[in-house]
Chains A and B, each alone.
Chain A
Amino acid sequence: MSNSKSEISRRKVIKTSAAAMAAIGAGPMFFTRGAMAQEYCNAPKGDTVTLGFNVPQTGAYADEGADELRAYKLAVKHLNGEGDGGMLNTFKPSVLKGNGVLGKKVAFVTGDTQTKSDAARASAKRMIEKDKAVMITGGSSSGVAIAVQSLCQEAGVIFMAGLTHSNDTTGKDKRANGFRHFFNTYMSGAALGPVLEKEYGKERVAYHLTADYTWGWSQEKSMKDFTEALGWKTQTTVNTPVGAGDFSQYITPVLNSGADVLILNHYGKDMVNSLTQAVQFGLRDKQVNGKNFEIVVPLFSRLMAQGAGDAIKGILGSTNWNWSLQDEGSKAFVKSFGAEYGTPPSMAAHTCYVQALLYANAAEMAGTFSPAGIVKSLEGFKFDGMGNGPTEYRAEDHQCFKDVLVVRGNQNPTSQFDLLEVVEVTPRAQVEYDAAIMGGSLGPVNAKAC
């Protein structure tokens, strides 16, 4: 019995050993193959690569989101070699050939941010985990951008921000996997300052109404810093709740405050409402301290200007891009977009279209969709022909540096779209700053498998 047992046992040992040897031999081969396939998160398999367009499709910024989505769809068409190519024809230096990216046809999935951070993170997560999106892009709010950027960093995919204007996106909340083409509140302040001095002089008293969230605070600080540097005094700063609707109770104290300039650090519907009501209260007809009372809206958007109607006429602000620009890139983009949709693109559409092309070009340059390769290609990348003149993706904070437009609400619009006139193109050098002043740290690139 015992012999028999020991014999079986010996056989088992031999078999087990053989199996173990085989496993040891085969194991590294198996894991190596797996490691190649999962080299980075959502490495595309087959002949398509999937991008995730995360834009507000419902909620207060749904119209901007719709325009962003139009731009992304146009970018996909152009990347896949359809249509007239748009900015692919003017973008330099570019290795894009209009045959997809790295030989793969570009496909896309969409998500609805609802302009809410939690909803935006949930839709981005769904696109990464379920739809296997290799890159997430879009959005129309800094709160959303910061939340989604952080999610993409954790997940190990690239985030190409849409419309986000807070300094924090590429300041204290910057991430190695995130990139922003849009300008920020510092640049708005730096560009507007000299124009405000030229138009309204050095002795002014400013009253700020500020949207009570990250972007509003960032915008207020920048405007305060730059106007005080001119010699202006800041009379009062008042935070207003986002979506307050009726701003009359915040505007009436301005009337007798002694201030002669009202700076509206509002965006979207808040800007439309506060500006309209400030005009209704006769602020623009007032004379204070022997000067005409003025209103300034630091961040302008054509879509919002449409909402404000006549109230926008003559008001100064800044913008990332305007469809009336006459450089070759802008003309090509407006032509493509207008022919496709019958309207000119908004600045949100422009930045999203450019981001999609920049990502695709970076992948082609790197020869991979790996975040490590994309980051390497984009950091310090200098380009032109995309509507903003010579532009650079600064390596230190992944912020694009380019000229900034100072605009004024058009007094005599020639069409329903002709709402902003460009007052000045502020050169890049004037809006540039040391990355260190914004704080934060990029940290390491996350290019792990997911």
Chain B
Amino acid sequence: MDAIFLQLLNGLDKGGAYALIALGLTLAFGTLGVVNFAHGALFMFGAFGAVTLNKFLTLQQVVLDPVKKTAWGTPLEIKTPYIEAWLGDFGAILIDYSVPVSILLVIPFMLLIGVAMERGLIRHFYNRPHADQILVTFGLAIVMQEIIRHYFGANPVPQTAPEIVSGSANVGQWLGIGENLVYPWWRLVYFAFSAVVIFLVFAFLRFTTFGMVVRAGMFDRDTVGLLGINIQKRFTIVFGLAAVVAGVAGAMYTPILPPDYNIGMEFLVLSFVVVVVGGMGSLGGAVTAGFLLGVLQSFASMNEIKNIIPGIDQIIIYLVAVVILLTMPRGLMGRKGVMED
């Protein structure tokens, strides 16, 4: 029972990340009709936004020790973070909370990157075949990866969650099902965070005039244009919003998985499967499929399941995708006419 509950939590947690990336991909596709293979790189940029803030906050003043020397004969360096030296305890708290605080930095940064990407490159490919869009965005993703590798190296850069949520929560005790069921606090935080972001995106599209126009534009762009609304400008902002969703998802994921330059690619392929299973262009489908596939992948990796079907954890997502596409060719919630030309 404990094992099943743990895998469920695990799947929801992983599904949260899939859903956030797939949501951004679907936003870009549903509005601009662009298949954005650089979306994973936006997730990675967000993650390195958190890393950059942490590096900035932990910049250290270096004083050379007059006595001690390094093994190669140079004076030993004594390092203290500037921020701690200047702000005392508040500086230490800032460093401790650098990951959640980085969200404040990542939101405007990713909005800027998203808008610049759309205006500078992607708009030139609106009327080109999807294959061209895939090639150019994939190329862009490689460029973004190499920039990060140049500045941060190829090895993962560990980030820590704030001290208060760095341990494990006794979930079993909360639910009255035993003492052995523990789960990392930060993963619970991430799940809650992804749920909040998804809710905010949906609320934004559902309850604001801007969102209403965007939804109308997604449904019938030409008619909205005939009403005198500059739908292109709104779509550009939506592309920026998609970048923000990917970015914050990446930043908050860093304590779970130390980011490296390739982290976006690892999520991108699975997220595309999520989008296709959910239904191209369907925001609800992307979120539902994200959580569904996350949970299925998690259960498939249980030893009891793998003993019956070895290697099932590696193929479950693709297997489910094949079954769903065979029985529901437009995915779980796909709309008629999307990517069917």
Q: Which residues of B contact A249 (CB under 8 A)?
A: 7, 10-11, 14, 297-298, 301, 313
Q: Given A309-B160, A337-B72 in contact, is the A273-B257 Cβ separation under 8 Å?
A: yes
Closest beta carbon of chain B to A409's beta carbon, Å: 13
Q: Contact between B266 and A277 (Cβ–Cβ < 8 Å)? A: no
Q: Which residues of A contact B182 (CB under 8 A)?
A: 255, 281-282
Q: Contact between A285 and B168 (Cβ–Cβ < 8 Å)? A: yes
B127 within 8 A of A: no
B118 within 8 A of A: no
Interface residues of A in 259-316 (CB under 8 A from B): 269, 272-273, 276-277, 280-282, 285, 303-304, 306-311
A248 within 8 A of B: yes
User: Which partner residue on chain A sits nearest B154 by CB separation?
Assistant: A62
B327 within 8 A of A: no
Q: Which residues of A contact B313 (CB under 8 A)?
A: 249
Closest beta carbon of chain B to A204's beta carbon, Å: 19
Q: Contact between B302 and A253 (Cβ–Cβ < 8 Å)? A: yes
Q: Contact between B160 and A272 (Cβ–Cβ < 8 Å)? A: no
How distant is the Cα of A245 from the Cα of B269 in the complex, in angstroms?
Answer: 13
Q: Which residues of A contact B108 (CB under 8 A)?
A: none
Closest beta carbon of chain A to B14's beta carbon, Å: 6
Q: Which residues of A contact B154 (CB under 8 A)?
A: 58-63
Q: Which residues of B contact A269 (CB under 8 A)?
A: 155-156, 260
B158 within 8 A of A: yes
A344 within 8 A of B: yes
Interface residues of A in 59-107 (CB under 8 A from B): 59-63
How distant is the Cα of A81 from the Cα of B266 in the complex, in angstroms?
Answer: 46
Q: Which residues of B contact A38 (CB under 8 A)?
A: none
Interface residues of B in 65-80 (CB under 8 A from A): 70-74, 76
Q: Contact between B184 and A282 (Cβ–Cβ < 8 Å)? A: yes
How distant is the Cα of A51 from the Cα of B194 in the complex, in angstroms?
Answer: 53
How distant is the Cα of A61 from the Cα of B313 in the complex, in angstroms?
Answer: 26
Q: Contact between A63 and B153 (Cβ–Cβ < 8 Å)? A: yes
B167 within 8 A of A: yes
Q: Pick the contact of B72: A59, A241, A285, A339 (CB < 8 A).
A: A339
User: Which partner residue on chain B sits nearest A324 by CB separation?
Assistant: B71
Q: Contact between B7 and A252 (Cβ–Cβ < 8 Å)? A: yes
Q: Which residues of B contact A246 (CB under 8 A)?
A: 14, 256-257
Q: Pick the contact of A308: B158, B260, B266 (CB < 8 A).
A: B158
How distant is the Cα of A272 from the Cα of B257 in the complex, in angstroms?
Answer: 9
User: Which partner residue on chain A sits nearest B14 by CB separation?
Assistant: A246
Q: Contact between A338 and B13 (Cβ–Cβ < 8 Å)? A: no
Closest beta carbon of chain B to A178's beta carbon, Å: 26
| Residue interface mask A329-360, B partner, CB < 8 A = 1 | 00100111111001010000000000000000
Q: Contact between A335 and B186 (Cβ–Cβ < 8 Å)? A: no
How distant is the Cα of A336 from the Cα of B262 in the complex, in angstroms?
Answer: 33
Chain B interface bracket (under 10, 10 to 19, 20 to 34, 35 or more): 35 or more
Chain A interface bracket (under 10, 10 to 19, 20 to 34, 35 or more): 35 or more
Q: Contact between B184 and A344 (Cβ–Cβ < 8 Å)? A: no
User: Which secondary structure dominates chain A's binding surface?
Assistant: helix
Q: Which residues of B contact A285 (CB under 8 A)?
A: 167-168
Q: Given A249-B301, A252-B7 in contact, is the A60-B262 Cβ separation under 8 Å?
A: yes
Interface residues of B in 291-312 (CB under 8 A from A): 297-298, 301-303, 306
Q: Contact between A255 and B6 (Cβ–Cβ < 8 Å)? A: yes
How distant is the Cα of A314 from the Cα of B73 in the complex, in angstroms?
Answer: 29
B258 within 8 A of A: yes
How distant is the Cα of A311 from the Cα of B256 in the complex, in angstroms?
Answer: 12
Closest beta carbon of chain A to B69's beta carbon, Å: 10
Closest beta carbon of chain B to A233's beta carbon, Å: 16
Q: Which residues of B contact A277 (CB under 8 A)?
A: 256-257
B230 within 8 A of A: no
Closest beta carbon of chain A to B200's beta carbon, Å: 25
Closest beta carbon of chain A to B153's beta carbon, Å: 5
The residue among B263, B266, B301 with the most chain A CB atoms within 10 A of its own CB is B301
How distant is the Cα of A249 from the Cα of B314 in the complex, in angstroms?
Answer: 12
Q: Given A248-B10, A303-B155, A304-B155 in contact, is the A338-B74 Cβ separation under 8 Å?
A: yes
User: Which partner residue on chain A sits nearest B262 by CB separation?
Assistant: A60
Q: Contact between B156 and A273 (Cβ–Cβ < 8 Å)? A: yes
Q: Which residues of B contact A236 (CB under 8 A)?
A: 303
B3 within 8 A of A: yes
Q: Pick the contact of B184: A63, A243, A280, A307 (CB < 8 A).
A: A280
Q: Which residues of B contact A415 (CB under 8 A)?
A: 76
Q: Contact between A306 and B301 (Cβ–Cβ < 8 Å)? A: no
Q: Contact between A252 and B3 (Cβ–Cβ < 8 Å)? A: yes
User: Which partner residue on chain B sits nearest A310 by CB separation?
Assistant: B160
A256 within 8 A of B: yes
Q: Which residues of B contact A307 (CB under 8 A)?
A: 155-158, 258
B149 within 8 A of A: yes
Q: Contact between A252 and B6 (Cβ–Cβ < 8 Å)? A: yes
Q: Contact between A280 and B258 (Cβ–Cβ < 8 Å)? A: no
How distant is the Cα of A292 from the Cα of B301 in the complex, in angstroms?
Answer: 26
User: Which partner residue on chain A sits nearest B157 by CB separation?
Assistant: A307
How distant is the Cα of A339 from the Cα of B168 in the complex, in angstroms?
Answer: 44
Interface residues of B in 145-196 (CB under 8 A from A): 149, 153-158, 160, 167-168, 180, 182-184, 186-187
Can you show 24 pairs from A to B with CB atoms below 8 A apart?
A60-B154, A62-B154, A63-B154, A241-B314, A246-B257, A249-B10, A253-B3, A255-B180, A256-B180, A269-B155, A269-B260, A272-B158, A273-B258, A276-B258, A280-B184, A280-B187, A281-B183, A282-B184, A285-B168, A306-B155, A309-B158, A334-B72, A336-B72, A339-B73
Chain B residues in the interface with A (C-beta under 8 A): 2-3, 6-7, 10-11, 13-14, 70-74, 76, 149, 153-158, 160, 167-168, 180, 182-184, 186-187, 255-258, 260, 262-263, 266, 297-298, 301-303, 306, 313-314
Closest 10 CB pairs of A and B: A338-B72, A62-B154, A282-B168, A309-B158, A249-B301, A280-B184, A252-B6, A307-B156, A334-B71, A63-B155
Not counting A307-B258, A339-B73, a sample of 11 additional A-B residue pairs whose C-beta atoms are within 8 angstroms of each other reads A60-B260, A63-B154, A245-B263, A248-B298, A249-B10, A249-B297, A255-B2, A280-B168, A282-B167, A335-B71, A344-B72
